[in-house]
């Protein structure tokens, strides 16, 4: 018969903090919400300014022909794609918002929180237009105002979505998970604390 007994003053209970294992990363839902609200507020503020000052005016040059401020109403998706599918894009935007909010509660990665927050804010920015602007709820036209050469007119919400999508690709290529884990990260193991001894007694 064999009895296993921990050395005096030691414990068989794993202690990750004493094993040098990384502590659990904090949740990043608050950061996601902050980024989303920042994008939403900036998008809606710039749109309100454009609607108040630009209708009926020619484009305003900011950097010559390379960057201009103009006024356009878009019934389609980002960059004037699918102009006849306004209701469909509105429904898709609502689904995207709900999915990101659900996934966001598990986030522990700063990068993913920023990326998903940017997409959430961009989706909400254009969704507000579709729900509140003419000609009707769910069919409202999105305000676009940024014009660059050889590119459809767009807005800050579109920019946030595109930049966030690029960041998501970078995070994926680097193997960074939603929980902030990276390839090669140590996995927690149920082992004795350093310095713990094990004594063996044998009874015949």
Catalytic residues: 144, 158
Spatial distance between the Cα atoms of 127 and 142, rounded to a whole number of angstroms: 8
- First-to-last alpha carbon distance for the chain, in angstroms, is 7
Angle at 160 between CA 158 and CA 165, to 5 degrees: 100
As a whole number of angstroms, the longest Cα–Cα distance in the chain is 100
Other residues' Cβ atoms within 10 Å of the Cβ of residue 80: 17
Spatial distance between the Cα atoms of 160 and 41, rounded to a whole number of angstroms: 12
């Amino acid at each position: 018969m064999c009895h296993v007994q921990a050395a005096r003053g030691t414990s068989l209970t794993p202690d990750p903090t004493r094993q040098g294992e990384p502590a659990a990363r904090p949740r990043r839902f608050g950061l996601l919400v902050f980024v989303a609200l920042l994008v939403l507020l900036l998008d809606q503020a710039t749109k309100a300014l454009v609607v108040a000052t630009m209708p009926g005016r020619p484009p305003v040059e900011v950097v010559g022909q390379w960057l201009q401020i103009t006024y356009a109403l878009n019934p389609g998706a980002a960059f004037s794609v699918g102009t006849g599918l306004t209701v469909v894009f509105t429904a898709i935007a609502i689904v995207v918002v709900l999915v990101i909010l659900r996934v966001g509660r598990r986030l522990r990665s700063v990068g993913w929180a920023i990326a998903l927050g940017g997409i959430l804010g961009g989706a909400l920015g254009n969704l507000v237009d579709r729900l509140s602007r003419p000609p009707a709820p769910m069919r409202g036209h999105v305000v676009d105002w940024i014009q660059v050469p050889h590119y459809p007119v767009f807005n800050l919400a579109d920019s946030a979505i595109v930049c966030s999508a690029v960041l998501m690709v970078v995070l994926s290529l680097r193997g960074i998970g939603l929980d902030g884990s990276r390839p090669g990260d140590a996995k927690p193991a149920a082992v004795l604390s350093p310095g713990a001894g094990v004594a063996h007694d044998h009874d015949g």
